[in-house]
Amino acid sequence: MLRFHVKLSKDTNDTILAEVPDVPGACTFGEDREEALLRAPDAIESALMGYIDLRRDIPVPRAGGKGPFVTLPALTEAKLALYTAMRTAKIGKAELARRMNVEAAKAVKYGGVPREEALKFVTLNPAKQLKLDKRIGSLETGKDGDFAIWSGDPLDPTSHCDETWIEGRRYFDRAADLAGRAGLIAEKVDLVSKTRLAAARGSSTTPAEPARRPPTHSCDEESHDSEAAEAEVTR
């Protein structure tokens, strides 16, 4: 539970100024003491979100001292705990994406977040932040068919992803992936053996030029090509 001391003082315009000594930049006001304290958690949260944007450490509230105190919501505390854990472990966004379900599970265990809400941390909530929740983030009629099939509880760190589907098409199948690994290893061994044999015979082992992929095509390019073709015809 994150409890922050709030310093109250009378402002010049006869309102009550609320400052948080442990969180520089967190301040608000109210017409009276009760209103100032009621606004204090939002002021603290806004300031701490700024700390996260600037990649700064989250200040720890000092123990003891005299009140008044305010307590942050459990959901906010869970977000801060996740951010702090990432900084401590030096985990980047790519690595975090690989363990999002585990981080959501931490919010349940250490932050007291309901399981349904924790699962939204890695599904619906990010979609809302990207303003794409009308297409993705949950399985509903009319949305894209993007989902993953897990071997067990998604919030269990021992579970693994068995299948990944995007827009109703299966893009990953763990069983097929495992079955194909033996063939890839055999192919690698065969290529290494051939390379060593060629080197022993004095043959060139210069790597072949990689196959070039065709350039990506867009509707804008198609429109441009059509206009160019029409211009050529009219000449």
Q: How far apart are CA 201 and CA 74, in angstroms?
A: 69
Tokens 């606004």 locate to 39
Tokens 């990506």 locate to 216
Q: How distant is the alpha carbon of residue 228 from its chain centre?
A: 43
Q: What is the dihedral of CA 43, 49, 53, 59, to 10 degrees?
A: 90
What are the tokens at 163? 């299948």
pTM of the model as a whole: 0.47
Q: How far apart are CA 144 and CA 70, in angstroms?
A: 42
pLDDT tens per residue across all 235 residues of the chain: 789 999 999 988 889 999 999 999 999 999 999 999 999 999 999 999 999 888 899 998 887 777 799 999 888 888 888 888 888 888 777 777 777 888 889 889 888 899 999 999 889 988 898 889 999 999 899 999 899 999 999 898 889 899 999 988 999 999 999 999 889 999 999 999 988 888 888 776 666 666 665 554 444 444 444 444 444 444 4
